[in-house]
Amino acid sequence: MARESLVSKQQRAAEIERRLYDYYGRGEASLDFTDPFTLTVAVVLSAQCTDAAVNKITPKLFAAYPTPLALAQAPVADVEEIIHPLGFFRSKAKNIVALAQTLVADFGGEVPADIDLLQKLPGVGRKTANCVMCAAFEQPQGIAVDTHVFRTAHRLKLAGPSADTPAKTEAVLMKAFPRRDWMFVNHQFVHFGREFCRARNPRCADCILGDVCPTRGNWD
């Protein structure tokens, strides 16, 4: 494929977003949550495990510790026992208790609606902060790039070989999509990556983006 101009990529991205919106709508978050606090904790817990696995344990976790203050006062060992089915449960338990303590000590028990302040919370990186800003506050300040988004962006050639990290991939996606679409891209790409653009055995033959995908099955 010849080098694509930014204008051409933006036009193709607009068509991709139109189709994904028609098919998935705004795209629903895969993690269950009721407020910014429960979402932030759930996203931290979702690292290197499935959202479905997180959704199985968060009801018990938040029944025991429904607020930042309650979780801040929780013994780490008790939190470990609840989230034990998740990978890296010991470090995650330590992080979410410390996260809650930071919320209480520095933010009045409220999750800050600011991408930079969010990243001051233990266990919260830019991907988590982007998820919270979009799903909880509907104030997109970037695009969360997880494994599904990274894979899909590269197969669709919205990101090239030089965008070899999540941060670099986010930067090119932010140029390809207008800011008004940033809130939807992550959830839509996640659903699309699970249904069509799967890591193994992608459904290229019946893909809803087949004719606007430069690779069309030749993505290795």
Catalytic residues, by residue number, are 127, 146
Asked if 83 contacts 64 with a C-beta cutoff of 8 angstroms, the reply is no
Contact 44, 96 (CB under 8 A): yes
Spatial CA neighbour of 109 closest among 9, 37, 43, 181: 37
Tell me how many helices (H) and strands (E) the chain has.
11, 0
The Cα–Cα gap between 147 and 80 comes to: 26
Where on the phi/psi map is residue 217: left (φ > 0), alpha (ψ -120 to 50), or beta?
left
Phi-psi category of residue 27: left, alpha or beta, with phi > 0 → left and psi -120 to 50 → alpha: left
